Structure formats: C-alpha cells, structure tokens
Chains A and B, each alone.
Chain A
Amino acid sequence: MDIISFKGVIFIVAALVAIASSVLMATRRNPIHIALWMIVVFFAVAVIYLLLNAQFIAVAQVMVYAGAIMMLILFVIMLVQVEKGEEAGGARGETPRLSKMRVAGALITVILFVEMLFGALFYRMTGRGGDYTADAVNAVGNVKTMGSLLYGRYLFPFEIASILLLVGIVGAVVIAKRKK
C-alpha cells in the first residue's frame, strides 16, 4: 500500500516522536527529564493505538501510564533523588559510567534488534482473521466490546487481575512502612 495516506502521515509523525523521545529518555542524566520524556513516548504510542482501532487501550494508556504510573515515579524521584539531580553514580564518580560489560550488553541488544527487524519486515502474517473486524467493532463500540469480553470470556483472568492489584496494594504498604 502507499503509506502517504492520512493515517500513514499520522503514524510516521507519531513513530518519529516516540523514537526521538525514547532516545532522549535513554540518554538524559536528570531522572525528572527522563520521566517527562517518557510521558511524551506514552502519548505518541497512544496515538498509534488510536490508529490501530484500539480506542479503549489508547485512553487507558494515557490514564494509567501517563497519569498514574508516571505520577508515582515522579513522586518517588523527588523523594529519593537528593544528589543534585544527577545520576546516582555521579556523586561518587569513581566507577566509569560505561563499563565494558555494559557496552557488550548494548551490542548484543543491537544484534537482537536486527533480528527483530528482519522478522518484522519479512514475515508474512499467516492465520485466519477473527470476528472482530474494525467495522464490526465500531458498529457496537470499542469499549462495549472490550467490556463484554472482559466480563464474559475473560472473567476469570479479570478476577485474578483484581486479586493481583490487591496484593500489590498490600505489598507496597508493607514494604514501604517505616519499621518502629
């Protein structure tokens, strides 16, 4: 297909924004700046979710990730980061920032990336299409379809997820509680 359609242009812009801000995220020193660039990545990915007909997930991405989780991370950074905003190693300054092991790990990850790219671009997707085409879902409504799936076919995993959230709440309180 030719990519220069309306959706294609939006996709390319959102993808470039996501890649650029994630590169900035992996290279900045100040953790607060990293968290703010991460919010930009989340918004760009939410735009791509919208292009892929996943409206509910796009809104949940903005609310849960960009809203709740990043706010939590920002608060913890402000609570924890007393060393002039630098990366924690900077205050001690003895160890070099990039050791050989880290560079080797990064190179191995780049090899993995080349493999992934090869797979993504040259793999023909097989498999039979399901019932939930974009038109069929939009006729009912994306959120309604998601809701009926979550409370129907996926009811048991949904309940497990709620128990997981409860365990998370209790665990966070117990771990972070100041010992008397």
Chain B
Amino acid sequence: MFQEIPPGLCFALSGVLFTIGAIGAITRKNVIVIFMCIELMLNAANLAFIASGNALSSMDGAVFVFFVMTVAAVEAAVGLAIFVMIFRLHGTVNADDASLLKG
C-alpha cells in the first residue's frame, strides 16, 4: 500500500513556507502584498496542524484548521475594507505612509 508521509518533512515544508511569508511581510511595502504574505504564514501553520493531526491520528488538527480558515476569511474582509479606507485617505497603499496613528 501507499506509505505515509513522515511528519518531519511536513513540518519542514511548513517552516519554509512560514519563513518565506515572514520575510515577504517584513520586506515589502504594499499593504496588500503584506496581507497576502500573512495569509501564506497562516497557511503554513495550517499545514503543521494537519500534519500533526495526521501523525497522531486525531481529527482535532482539521477542526482547528477549519476555525483558522474562518478567522482568515473574516480578517480578509475587514482588512481589505481597511485598505480601501487607507487608499481613500492617502491615495496610496504604501505601508510606510500609513502613519495616521503616529503621535
């Protein structure tokens, strides 16, 4: 039969995706690109949840990923509304220019 994927490899892949997402979120300026990189980091965390749930033959990992997806959807809706507001206010979506809350 088909053999199982070792969970260590899945965790390593999850770490790689998380790191790429984090580096993207740190180095980019466009807030929408930063937002997409954060979505990538969430996805990497989901992958680790699924891998450990599969390795421990438990369903809780999948349930957690379901809730993380719910939160990501809400975050996308509210975050994109905020981006549209920032764009109306400043005429740009550069994260360095969004200093409205700075004293």
Contact = CB atoms under 8 A, between A and B. Distances in A.
**A and B: real partners?**
yes
Interface of A: 1-3, 5-8, 11, 15, 18-19, 22-23, 25-26, 31, 34-35, 38, 41-42, 45, 48-49, 51-54, 56-57, 60-61, 64-65, 68-69, 72-73, 76-77, 79-81, 83, 87-89, 91-92, 95, 97-98, 102-103, 105-106, 109-110, 112-113, 116-117, 119-121, 123, 125, 127-134, 136-137, 145-146, 149-150, 154, 157, 161, 164-165, 167-169, 171-173, 175-176, 178
Contacts of B57: 129-134, 136
Contacts of A83: 92
Contacts of A97: 29
Contacts of A117: 12, 15
Interface of B: 2-24, 26-30, 32-33, 35-37, 39-40, 43, 46-47, 50-63, 65-67, 69-78, 80-85, 87-88, 92-94, 96
Contacts of A26: 20-21, 23-24, 27-28, 37
A175 B81 contact: yes
Given A11-B9, A171-B78, A149 B59 contact: yes
Contacts, number: 248
User: Nearest 9 A-B pairs (CB), nearest first?
Assistant: A168-B74, A120-B11, A130-B58, A26-B24, A113-B19, A116-B15, A176-B81, A175-B81, A105-B26
Contacts of B59: 130, 132, 137, 145-146, 149
15 contacts: A25-B24, A31-B33, A41-B17, A51-B5, A54-B53, A54-B54, A61-B69, A65-B39, A65-B69, A65-B72, A69-B72, A72-B76, A110-B19, A116-B15, A125-B55
Contact of B54 (A35, A92, A134): A134
Contact of B32 (A64, A76, A120, A173): A76
Contacts of B3: 1-2, 5, 7-8
B50 A57 contact: yes
